[in-house]
Amino acid sequence: MLVEKIQENPMRNIRIGKVVVNMGVGESGERLEKAMKVLEQLTGQKPCPTRAKRTIRDFGIRKGENIGCKVTLRKEKIEPFLKRVLEVKKFRLSESCFDDFGNISFGISEHINIPGTKYDPSLGIFGMNVCVVLERPGYRVAVRKNRRSKIGRKHRVTREEAMAFFREKLGVTIERRR
């Protein structure tokens, strides 16, 4: 029944809006530069640094200091990267990775597990978080600069729809919480 409705109305189709890959290093300097090189090798895009929101003296972090990096992937770059990253997870995700608004987040402990990546001793090993945003056509009205508007509840992507999308399009097995 859900599939029939989607075929009737093209505005109900679900697509991947963007994928954000984040590496939190916890310090600036040489280690952050190495993380940025690794992220650029993995995604093919130049990462931008992320800054600390507040000062934490115990960790030696000052407010405004660069402590991580991130890359946002859109359009054609999404699918090849996502398939490589999901291969690390063996195309299995926990039910808790999905939120109520069609977003999926999961972590990778070591970047060298991604297929096609070789270990470089001069760079080291880094973990990362991958966040996938699902959306429908027309979602732009919520984020555009002029005449911004709200998205109705029925037009948002639900948790169940996000799980179904990942099962059908990417062949992901979703495991129940224990």
Binned at pLDDT 50, 70 and 90, residue 5 comes out as: low
Residue indicated by tokens 């200091």: 65
Residue 19, domain CATH = 3.30.1440.10
Q: Total domain count for the chain?
A: 1
- What is the pLDDT at residue 119? 86
> How far apart are alpha carbons 2 and 76 in whole angstroms?
27
- What is the pLDDT at residue 133? 94
Size of the chain in residues: 178
When pLDDT is averaged across residues 55-76 and rounded to a whole number, the result is: 89
> How far apart are alpha carbons 149 and 106 in whole angstroms?
30
Binned at pLDDT 50, 70 and 90, residue 58 comes out as: confident
Per residue in 91-149, pLDDT (tens digit) is 999 999 999 988 999 999 988 888 888 888 888 889 999 999 999 998 889 989 999 99
- What is the pLDDT at residue 16? 93
Among candidates 50, 35, 26, 27, which has minimal Cα distance to 124? 35
Binned at pLDDT 50, 70 and 90, residue 49 comes out as: very high
Per residue in 15-32, pLDDT (tens digit) is 999 999 999 888 888 988
Instruction: Kindly list the distances between the CA atom of residue 128 and the CA atoms of 22, 55, 68, 172, 174, in Å, as whole numbers in the listed order.
Output: 6, 23, 10, 20, 21
Q: Residue 42 corresponds to which amino acid?
A: L
Q: Which domain holds residue 61?
A: 2-175
pTM: 0.86
For the chain, give the mean pLDDT: 88
Count CA atoms within 13 Å of residue 50 on its CB side. 16
